[in-house]
Every structure is written in structure tokens, then in C-alpha cells.
Amino acid sequence: MNSLADQLLVLVMLINLVMLGSSRLIFSIRAVAAQGVILGILPSLVHPLSFHLVAITASIILAKGIVIPYLIGDAVHKAHIRREVEPFIGYLPTLFLGAVCTALAFVFAARLPLAPEHRSLLVVPASIATLLTGFLILTTRRKAISQVIGYLVLENGIFVFGLLLTEAMPFMVEAGALLDLLVGIFVMGIVINQISQEFSTIDTSRLRALKEE
């Protein structure tokens, strides 16, 4: 583990905050993509170089940094929405909550029974902070697209945690998780497109009206 990895993790946490504070969906998607690319670079800094590692790095960057953002961006483009209009909680309060969550992540990380070699790193706090940010986005935003972004951030948080375990974790599990997500995104993209064509809105708070009586 070197200090460069730590600085990249700081960047990951900053991107969390940027996403909480921004209202433009395209901007959020780009931020998620940037976060994905950083996450792709991270394993290669942490572990000794091998073919296996190069494959992981390339596939992660491809999936998180290019394919998924492109798909969501496409959905945004088709649904003609540009910004999250009315979040349940305003941008400033969510930004503030995000900062509090990040601080709490450091507190939680200090309390976890970690192996001593993991204690001094930013991996665990960054992972928890990213997880919490994902939850925040999921709970405070209305648009289905924002929710998808929230899921992605959540997954990124889990991925950061996985960094500690890459050696123990078989490659297939990681790839499987990614694939799951990819399918999830596909389904969501299709669903969103359908909904927006049928109802000309993808505001999830209005989807409650669809329930069966």
C-alpha cells in the first residue's frame, strides 16, 4: 500500500461529495464514471502485477468507467431529463449530511476489529463513506436515474472494501458481482425507458400510484 493509493481514495471520497452536491444528472454520471476508473486503477497499485490483475483492471475500467455510464447517459438522453429537480432534501443539507457520514465513516473504521496492516489505510473509511453516500443518494433523490446512480455508488463502496480481500476473493466472484450489476442496470434502463415513454415521467414518488388496489 502506498500513499498514492491513499490519495486516490481521498479523491473517491471527494467525488462522493461532488455527486451529493450536484444537480445535473450528466455531471453525476461522469462523476460516477471517474470514480469507476479510479477504482479500476486501485487494485494495480495495491497488489503485485500479474496477468490476472491486468485483466481485472481492464475489465473494471471498461465496465464501471465506460459501459455502464454510457448506458445510463443514453437513458438520460432518451428520457429528456437534465437535472434532478426536486430532491426530498435540498442539496446543501445532503452535502452536509454526506460530510457528517464521511466523518462517521472514519469513526466506524477506527472501531472495526481490523488486521493491523489494514488499520493505517484509508480503504475501510473510504469504503464505508462511499456506501453511506450511496444510501444517501438512494434515499434523498426522486428520479429513477438518480437512484441507479445511487446503486452504482453503493456498489463502488462494496468494491473498495473488496480491495482488501482481492487475493482471498476468487476472480469469478468479483466478475459475477459485476455481471449481476450489469444486468440490473440493463433491466433498469429498459424499465426506465418504458416508463418514460408510457407516463412521460420517471419520478419514483409518482410511481406509487401504480400499485394494485
Q: Which residues bind other proteins (CB under 8 A)?
A: 3, 6-7, 10, 13-14, 17, 21, 91-92, 95-96, 98-99, 102-103, 106, 120, 122
Least Å distance, CB 21 to other proteins, is 6
The most distant pair of C-alpha atoms in the chain lies apart, rounded to whole Å, by 58
Closest by CA position to 48, among listed 1, 4, 13, 84: 1
Cα 44–Cα 104–Cα 34 angle in degrees, nearest 5: 35
C-alpha distances out from residue 65 to 94, 102, 207, Å: 25, 23, 30
Q: Which is nearer to other proteins, 20 or 60 (CB)?
A: 20
Contact 11, 25 (CB under 8 A): no
Smallest distance from other proteins to CB 106, Å: 6
* Shortest distance in whole angstroms from residue 205 CB to other proteins: 22
Amino acid in position 165: L
Our CB check for other proteins shows the closer of 7 and 205 to be 7
As measured in angstroms, the least distance from the Cβ of 119 to other proteins is: 10
Alpha carbon distance 165, 162 (integer Å): 5
**DSSP per-residue string spanning 79-129:** HT--B----SS-HHHHHHHHHHHHHHHHHHHHHS---HHHHTSSHHHHHHH
* Closest to other proteins by CB, 127 or 196: 127
Q: Give least dist CB 102 to other proteins, A.
A: 7
Alpha-carbon torsion 45, 121, 3, 100, what sign?
A: positive
Nearer to other proteins, 92 or 179 (CB): 92
Query: What residue has cell string 463513506?
Result: 129
Judged by beta carbon, residue 91 or residue 135, the one nearer other proteins is 91
Provide the minimum distance between the beta carbon of 17 and other proteins in the complex, in angstroms, as a whole number. Answer: 6
Cβ proximity to other proteins, 85 vs 103, nearer residue: 103
